[in-house]
Amino acid sequence: MEELERSVVLITGASGGIGSAMAEVFARSGYNLALHCHSNKERLLDLVNSLLPLLKEDQEVITVCGDLSCEEEVDQVLAQVKDKLGDIDVLINNAGITRDKLLMSMKTEDFDSVIASNLRSVYLTCHGVIRSMLKKRHGRIINISSVVGVNGNPGQANYAASKAGIIGFSKSLAKEVASRGITVNCIAPGMIETKMTEVLTDKAKEAILSRIPMGRMGQPREVAEAALFLASRAAGYITAAVIPVDGGM
């Protein structure tokens, strides 16, 4: 795919399985990378070291850390990226948490923390980058939702609400900025093979696989490749879409 030369991508939650795969895919495609984590900077630095052999001579990668549910910390993260790399061309909101419990056992803080980390953070980062994208009349925003945000899931009312909220937010923002050359889309991953799914019992995995027509879990790179496509010029006429990466789930 033909990309804008040395475009800048900010990937939030880059130290996780899907985030790391995105970092590798975008590094191989020639982007300048701003990789974010909440607090695990050591893991993020390990990721950067693994990416260095993939970078071209003038390609840059930086790390930024902060709580993206906090407006002041979002401002600091975005200011660091602008200072070191310039304006953000592609924003990928991948950071998120789970606090799974049945509703009758769910505490208010379990609900509030998930909404803040998963949904409020998307509002704050999008709000922080949209002005510069409008000024340049170009930009790509890719928000990572979930199949759970589309279908719901027992024990995940808070997570489902946050991920469904991302979809509604993205569709609305897409319509606000479409005339200025900015696209806003969602990816809704299904069951992806990461450290989060490694802890599942064999019985739980069998139950999940029985609901996936393709009969296997997805790989982080498969989500990353979908993000790369949505960031490309080839996806210039796609906006307000929710792209499932779920094996037909």
Give the DSSP letter string of the chain: ----TT-EEEETTTTSHHHHHHHHHHHHTT-EEEEEESS-HHHHHHHHHHHGGG--TT--EEEEE--TTSHHHHHHHHHHHHHHH-S-SEEEE---------GGG--HHHHHHHHIIIIIHHHHHHHHHHHHHHHHT-EEEEEE--HHHHH--TT-HHHHHHHHHHHHHHHHHHHHHGGGTEEEEEEEE-SB-SHHHHTS-HHHHHHHHTT-TTSSPBPHHHHHHHHHHHHSGGGTT--S-EEEESTT-
Selected catalytic residue, list 31, 123, 159, 237? 159
Annotation marks residue 237 as catalytic: no
Question: So which residues are the catalytic ones?
Answer: 159
